[in-house]
Structure 1
Amino acid sequence: MSKSKKKKRKKVLKEIKEMEKIIEFLVENTPYYYLDTVPETIVREDSYYDGYQDWCDKSYLPAFAESITRIVFAMMEYNYAEVYLEPEFCPKKYSKYVGKNIRDIGFDKLEKIIKHIVLKWQGSLIIRLVDKKHREFFIQIKDEWETTFFNLKGKNLKLVKELARSEGLFLQKMKDRYWDWEDLPKSWQDKSYKKWKKFYQE
């Protein structure tokens, strides 16, 4: 690898770390969304039928992977996008893509990576999207059922809901919290870092 390529790769890896920090911040401080197969998540203890989740893992997951791919590609078409594999969790077969924005490797190759992450439970993908009004939001795809949307608001939120509905999926708001962020007094919201301020704007 040439010196310039190494330098570029190092810069991209640094940017990925920054995105991971932003996502961690958003998880801890803001509402976020995830895709689900049912309108309200059912924990095993509340299920009337043993084995439902096992059936989903075996029979439904491939269809879920297809739907995730279509939703992600649609959002990439509507918005500026950057796509990165997280180095820490990258499958060995895709290690050549680490430290690169793989947005332009082609939809066929990107589809294979997404499906590998979902179906093989290996790897993690971060997609940074910026809309026409320069609003930044993120999609994170992890193993199996974990496809999560951060800083999703306004028209982008509405669009993802519509896309999910068209795929027979549901966009659920993360509610497993001790408090509702949206109801917190403004004085409680940590705005000490200027770079985070954009994530508080409605």
Structure 2
Amino acid sequence: MLKTRILTALVLAPLVIWAVLGLSNAWFALVLGAIILGGVWELGNLSGIGAVSARLVLVALAGIGLWLLFGLRAAAWTGPFLQILAAAWLLNLLLLLSRRFSPRERTGLNLPWLFMGLVALTGAWLAFVKLHGRADHGPQLMLFAMILVWVADSGAYFAGRAFGRRKLAPHISPGKTVEGVLGALAGGAVAGTVLIWLKWLP
């Protein structure tokens, strides 16, 4: 697992950094959109959509939605819209943790899971595209955010492997632990502090 992570990082990290810093906002949105649509395909599978044709329709509709959002990304309402999506995702997190809404406890088509997954994927795409397109060092801010995520994910992995004892939410993800979360928070805090101290951002 660790070897796979390292090899993946060595191959993908330079490409991702180049894409974030070197591509225009339109091309960045297109590349990121392709990745998001791959996530929509997998979301359809996880939500119980077994037919390939139905998942293709879902991906096509999501692609049209991303295209429309890209044209409207500069509209004044997109900021409050993203805030509403963030609040909805926090509510979804509370429902998941309370066991009132668990994808593992349902069979067949899971419409709530599908809906919230689409909200998360399309909302993240719109937020990233808007951040990358900011006139005041948007690509650098985007890369800053991605580095925080990478370091936090690595912190969660190593802390969970070394100290993980208490399960965080086994009905959602059996492998996640409280110690892993603390490792992620610590890693993100250290990375953010170091990057700011180095005046990495212009």
TM-score (norm 1): 0.30
With CA pairs under 8 Å and 6+ residues apart, which has the higher RCO, 1 or 2? 1
Q: Greater share of strand residues, 1 or 2? A: 1
Higher normalized helix content (fraction of residues): 2
